[in-house]
Amino acid sequence: MQMNDLIVKKRDGGELTTEEIGWMIRGFVDGSVPDYQMSAMAMAIYFRGMNRRETLDLTLAMLHSGETIDLSGVSGVKADKHSTGGVGDKTSLVLVPMMAACGVKMAKMSGRGLGHTGGTIDKLESFSGFSTALTLEQFYENVEHVGMVIAGQTANLVPADKKLYALRDVTGTVPSIPLIASSIMSKKLAAGADVIVLDVKCGGGSFMKTEADARALADELVAIGKGAGKQTVAVITDMDEPLGLAVGNALEVREAIDALSGARPGELMELCDTLGACILTAAGVAESDEAARAMLERVVADGSARDMLAKFVAAQGGDPAPVYDPSLLPTAPVQIEVPAEQEGYVNHIDAGGVGMVSMHLGGGRATKESEIDLRVGVVLHKKVGDSIKVGESIAQIHAADEASAAKAAEALKACYTIAAEKPERAPFIKGIVR
């Protein structure tokens, strides 16, 4: 087989066979297919796309490029959750303990934040001593005995994706649905869960800017999961404004703890309930959506989901005390309010822009090597549809010093669009693909 022939075939709109895709990925990982040819192939796929069979074959070829997690020795149903990434997305911190408290074992591998989006691992490091660098034995042990684990991705999990993503990142080939879907699902399948629930974000703060693209990605992800024999559900959700109120690592942990303590703040809890009900019904733990939602309400009301978070933090070496006293979380020395300059209603909040404000305060990474400040970020007081008066605070900035706080306050004001009329709110949950 010649890589050049495969590139030409795809460039001209042809369909790659299972054997060709397998050969190409093996060659790319062992170095016999060079980066320049793989880049050309990624661009050909970007323009020509792939059909469902090709996308599944690509996913499976990537999945088998490295080690996989085998959860068959762990008792019960094992589930995993993935979000395509947004701003203020602390869902895993709330949902994963809720699921574990309902008796579904949660085995999750998460990443660090980059650019305007945050990462679950960074957020969890707000608990002093917490570690996500687990051996495989500890990973299995914690899923079995704690009921949940959130770890960093092991070095040899889907090496084909690591290499291909790095190439896509510098060749303008990230936004391709078959490439995104195979990248996400190869990692999810390698992590070994029986049930996979995907939160596909759409809007300004996410990868998929339009609902149509988000739906197309959700369809593709679910088709791959089913093709690989897994129970897979995707929920399409709005990311036109940040999720919840807090953006920034320790600030988001605090909001998650508040949610697990029964504060039930709006969309964050709506999302956790929806994703949770999908997992509980797919796992066969609840017979209906209503029964699932009742279970979710119960584990928050009786404190068992919050206790699960504390147990999980302690099992991974962290100090669980902030779970019961969030004032113990890292706190920024400077906190200032951002006063509104105009009266009216919040018409839009640029989620990506708010993510960038948090990043510039030090809460996110400009490059993979950047150090982050867990204490800093933004807490929004006003969300889309809320009325505001001149001088009223729209948000609070948490900063390391006065100068960065003042700069962030100006940048945050620019993220808000104010209108005279109250806007119509689009539904937050835009659809469920099963």
Q: Catalytic positions, please?
A: 82, 161, 168, 183, 187
Does position 44 bind ligand URA by CB under 6 A? no
86 or 322: CB nearest ligand URA: 86
3-state secondary structure of 246: strand
197: nearest Cα among 213, 184, 211, 180: 184
Amino acid at 385: G
Per-residue contact flags (x/-) with ligand URA for residues 189 to 228, judged by CB under 6 A: ------------------x---------------------
The smaller minimum CB distance to ligand URA, of residues 100 and 221, is found at 221
Rule CB under 6 A: which of 140-169 touch ligand URA? 165
Q: Which is nearer to ligand URA, 239 or 418 (CB)?
A: 239
Q: Cα–Cα distance between 102 and 304 in angstroms, integer?
A: 9
110 contributes a contact to ligand URA by CB under 6 A: no
Closest separation in Å from C-beta 158 to ligand URA: 9
Alpha carbon distance 319, 126 (integer Å): 10
Quote the radius of gyration of the chain (alpha carbons, Å). 22
Taking CB under 6 A as the rule, does residue 184 contact ligand URA? yes
Residue closer to ligand URA by CB (options 97, 119) is 119
Tokens of 306: 């919050």
Decide: 197 and 233 in contact? Cβ < 8 Å. yes
Residues with Cβ within 8 Å of 273's Cβ and at least 6 positions away in sequence, in order, are 293, 296
Question: Helix 249-258 to helix 91-101 angle, to the nearest 10 degrees?
Answer: 40
275 part of the interface to ligand URA, by CB under 6 A: no
- Number of residue whose CB is nearest ligand URA: 183
CB of 113 within 8 A of CB of 143?
Answer: no
Q: Site size for ligand URA, by CB under 6 A?
A: 7
Residue 83 vs 142, nearer CB to ligand URA? 83
Token pair listed for 351: 């989620």
CA distance 263 to 321: 19
Residue 410: exposed, middle, or buried by beta-carbon count in 10 A (0-12, 13-18, 19+)? exposed
Contact pick of 99, 180, 202, 278 for ligand URA (by CB under 6 A) = 180
Per-residue contact flags (x/-) with ligand URA for residues 59 to 78, judged by CB under 6 A? --------------------
Q: Are 96 and 220 in contact (CB under 8 A)?
A: no
Of residues 174 and 291, the one with the C-beta less far from ligand URA: 174
Amino acid at 248: G
CB 36 → ligand URA: shortest distance, Å? Answer: 20
- Part of the chain binding ligand URA (CB under 6 A), chosen from 18-26, 172-180, 222-230, 292-300: 172-180
Encoded tokens for 67: 């080690």
Q: Does 183 bind ligand URA (CB under 6 A)?
A: yes
List of residues contacting ligand URA (CB under 6 A): 165, 174, 179-180, 183-184, 207
